[in-house]
Chains A and B, each alone.
Chain A
Amino acid sequence: QQQVKQSPQSLIVQKGGISIINCAYENTAFDYFPWYQQFPGKGPALLIAIRPDVSEKKEGRFTISFNKSAKQFSLHIMDSQPGDSATYFCAASMLTGANNLFFGTGTRLTVIP
C-alpha cells in the first residue's frame, strides 16, 4: 500500500515555466514532508522540507505548499531551468516512534530549453 501518492509520473516544462508536482497522504500522524531531487547516476538529495505547522515554505525558486486539511502537499519550481531536469520524490514521516521516510513513486521532470 502506497503511503504517499505522487503525481504526475512525468512532466515536461518549457524553460522559464512553473513545474508543479503533487503528493497526497492518508496517515494524519505524518508531520515531516521533505522533497528529494535525484540526478541520473546519483542518490536522492534533500531539496526542501516542511512541517505541518506552516502552509508554505520557500527556498529560492523552490516552494512547498502544504494543505493539512486536504492531506496534500506540492512542490512548485518557479522559472524552471534545464538544470532542474531530474527525478523528484516527495516523502513523509512521523515525529514519534520510527522516523522512516515513506516515499512517493517519483516524478521525472524535463525542462526544455
Chain B
Amino acid sequence: DVKVTQSSRYLVKRTGEKVFLECVQDMDHENMFWYRQDPGLGLRLIYFSYDVKMKEKGDIPEGYSVSREKKERFSLILESASTNQTSMYLCASSLLDYGYTFGSGTRLTVV
C-alpha cells in the first residue's frame, strides 16, 4: 500500500514563526497536494505539484509556499504563521488514475 507520511501529528507555533510541514510518499507518485481542512469548509487546496521542482497554486495559496526538491517529498511552508492558519493540514499523493492517498494530517495551532 502507498504510504504518505506527515512528519508531525501536532504542532504549536507562535505568531510570526516560519513553519515547515513535511510530507513524504513511498510509491513514486508524480502528483502531490497540500490541503487544509476546517469544519464546515471541507478540504481546500493550498498548493500542488506534478513533478520535481514544479508547483502550482491551489484555491488558497496566500500565506503559504511549497518546495519539492525530490519526487517523494513535498513541503509546505508558512512564511509567517498567523492565528488564522490554525487548522488541520493534509498531504496527499496520486498517480494519473486520480486516486488520492492522504497522510494522517498535521494539526497546527498558531498562538
Contact = CB atoms under 8 A, between A and B. Distances in A.
Interface of A: 6, 9, 32, 34, 36, 41-46, 49, 89, 93, 98-106
A34 B92 CA distance: 15
A106 B58 CA distance: 19
B contact residues, range: 20 to 34
Contacts of B90: 43-44
Contact of A103 (B40, B43, B104): B43
27 contacts: A6-B42, A36-B102, A41-B105, A42-B105, A43-B4, A43-B92, A43-B102, A43-B103, A43-B104, A44-B100, A44-B102, A46-B99, A46-B100, A89-B42, A98-B48, A98-B56, A99-B96, A100-B45, A100-B48, A100-B58, A101-B98, A101-B100, A102-B45, A103-B43, A104-B42, A105-B42, A106-B43
A34 B99 contact: yes
A43 to B, nearest CB: 3
Contact of B98 (A9, A32, A43, A89): A32
A44 B42 contact: no
Main secondary structure of the interface of B (DSSP, over half): strand
B107 to A, nearest CB: 9
B75 interface: no
Nearest to A1: B59
Contacts of B100: 34, 36, 44, 46, 101
A99 B94 contact: yes
Which of B43, B58, B96 counts the most A-chain CB atoms under 10 A from its CB?
B43
A105 to B, nearest CB: 4
Contacts of A102: 45
B25 interface: no
Contacts of A101: 45, 98, 100
